[in-house]
Structure 1
């Protein structure tokens, strides 16, 4: 009698669209091989095939039908640990058309933008599909993710990666996903689509803010993923000037691993530092505006060198005000 975990009826239901399987490894599934030095290899299992490396070869047939979490020995003696890849492992090793959203940032987006089962989410651009996989898993089969991508070559790579992770057959895509080739700033208003969340991963997200505002339901969230401080400033100030959102919140996350061996406990020598900044704000109801901030901007925050959007209550002061200010402070 088979072990309970080997019973096909106890696999994750296909209608869950999780991208995850339980039980023995099957032909066509992807596995992740890890050697003693931490080198990783992802490959699909195919009967009769071999995996080759500088440690020899491994027969795919030796892995098919076994429960994940075992070691397999290559022909020259090297050992590999065999598991199904996690989503966080898959996205950092999948083929790339554009840079991927790293797992630490995808986790922040799913949590802080409050992506929930059944949510209607709009994403632009799709990049290589890394964030798309996290969004689809979060909204579930009863939600909706609509991805806009300007570049066809990126859209093709993303489609292949999403299909690979969720195990969809050729010609059949994830039921909650729609991939559209075009510019969100013009395509989203034309579609008349309403949504709960808008995620902007692009060079100039401020160009899409009006379209996002019109599509978002009251209480919805816009979230921008930007790489530089100039992008961060431009988008945040554009949200403030728009007037239809709450005060934007900006942050970044840093991840540092730790070396732990007995009494030798110290920070690791490598860390995932800056990857991008995140900004979120909530959509106000039509005709409503959030209370203005009562805290005054820092001196010089909107000085003569600042050329971005300017809040209505911040005057456009002449340059000599800021030139003379340091001397006055020095005299005091």
Structure 2
């Protein structure tokens, strides 16, 4: 899989043997297949495109979406706080378009496995296509309500993006390895508070709730200052560990 970048900075991901066409012209498949990362190619209109190797963020930027997805600041917090790594086993519930499942699959590698549950059939199908297009093979999309039962055990992380995640915390506790993590994404503080109280009652440890804010800096001729706009509240993240 290759990515091309046009003169405007717009990204396109292409499969081998696929011809490219946009308002900036056509590039035939043979030219693209023979091009190497770093090369520049021309369309039939003489417009220039750069060949790049896409990473997970490039793909998520342009993949098919039918719903909102977790933003990078929250995904990064989950990966860093839980220490997810090679060969880990993960369950994710509330697949959506598959953004965080793709990040999990990318981090755990070919020796790891991700199982992602999505109750809506249309969302599950979009996620399957996105995962297939990225070319990752360690993610299984399950069109199933996780509240009907978690099929997997010996898990290192269970991530829940659900309206009432605390309803299945008992089964989560049974399905996790000792040392494994529960992570919950909650748009509203009430969900996070109830999740905290239920997790504590069940005997989880290291329970914490975070809100991550992201604010960039802009460099001007006069100096450097915070940007006026920032990625503020998106949701709360609860973490709890089985020990």
* TM-score category (smaller protein): 0.7 to 0.9
Of the three residues 21, 33, 57, the one matched with 1:51 is: 21
CA displacement at 1:71 relative to structure 2: 4.2
- Confirm whether residue 130 of structure 1 aligns to residue 99 of structure 2: yes
CA deviations on 1:145-168 (whole Å, 9 max, x unpaired) are 12221111111111111111126x
Q: Could you tell me how far 1:70 is from its partner in structure 2?
A: 4.1
Q: CA RMSD in A?
A: 2.5
Aligned-pair CA distance for 1:49? 3.0
Q: State how far apart, in whole Å, the 1-side matches of 2:116 and 2:180 are.
A: 17
Q: TM-score of the superposition, structure 1-length normalised?
A: 0.65
Alignment of 1:187-206 (within 5 A): 187-188=149-150, 191=151, 193-206=153-166
Query: What's 1:265 paired with?
Result: 224
Q: Which structure's relative contact order is higher, taking Cα pairs within 8 Å and 6+ residues apart?
A: 2
Alignment TM-score, normalising by the size of structure 2: 0.86
Q: Which residue of 1 aligns with 2:7?
A: 35
- CA change 1:34–1:271 in 2 (3 A) is farther
Q: In structure 1, what is the Cα distance between the partners aligned to 2:33 and 2:232?
A: 38
Look up the SS of the partner of 2:170 in the other structure. helix
Instruction: Quote how far apart the aligned CAs of 1:193 are.
Output: 2.5
Note if contact 2:156-2:180 (Cα within 8 Å) is conserved in structure 1.
yes
Equivalent residue runs for 1:3-22 within 5 Å: none
Counterpart residue number, 2:141: 179
Question: Aligned-pair distance for 1:130?
Answer: 0.9
Distance (Å, rounded) in 2 between the aligned partners of 1:264 and 1:148: 48
Listed as ranges, the gaps of 5+ residues in structure 2 are none
Which whole-Å CA distance do the structure 1 matches of 2:234 and 2:61 have between them? 13
Count matched residues. 243
Match of 1:83 in 2: 52
Matched, 1:145 2:114: yes
The one of 186, 204, 220 aligned to 1:245? 204
Contact kept in structure 2, 1:250 and 1:277, CA below 8 Å: yes
The superposition leaves residues 251-290 of structure 1 with CA deviations (integer Å, 9 ceiling, x where unpaired) of: 1222233333665433344432222221101113xxxxxx
Is 2:19–2:28's contact at 8 Å kept on the other side of the alignment? yes
Alignment partner of 1:212 is 2:187: no
Equivalent residue for 1:159? 128
Deviation, structure 1 residue 107: 1.8
Residue 281 of structure 1 is matched in structure 2 by 240
| Secondary structure in 1 matching 2:149 | helix
Tell me: CA distance 1:74–1:110, structure 2 relative to 1, closer, same or farther (3 Å). Answer: same
Q: Is the 8 A contact 2:13 2:59 kept in 1?
A: no
Give the whole-Å Cα distance in 2 for the aligned partners of 1:90 and 1:213: 33
Shift of 1:124: 0.7
Runs of at least 5 residues in structure 1 that lack an aligned partner in the other structure: 1-28, 168-173, 285-332
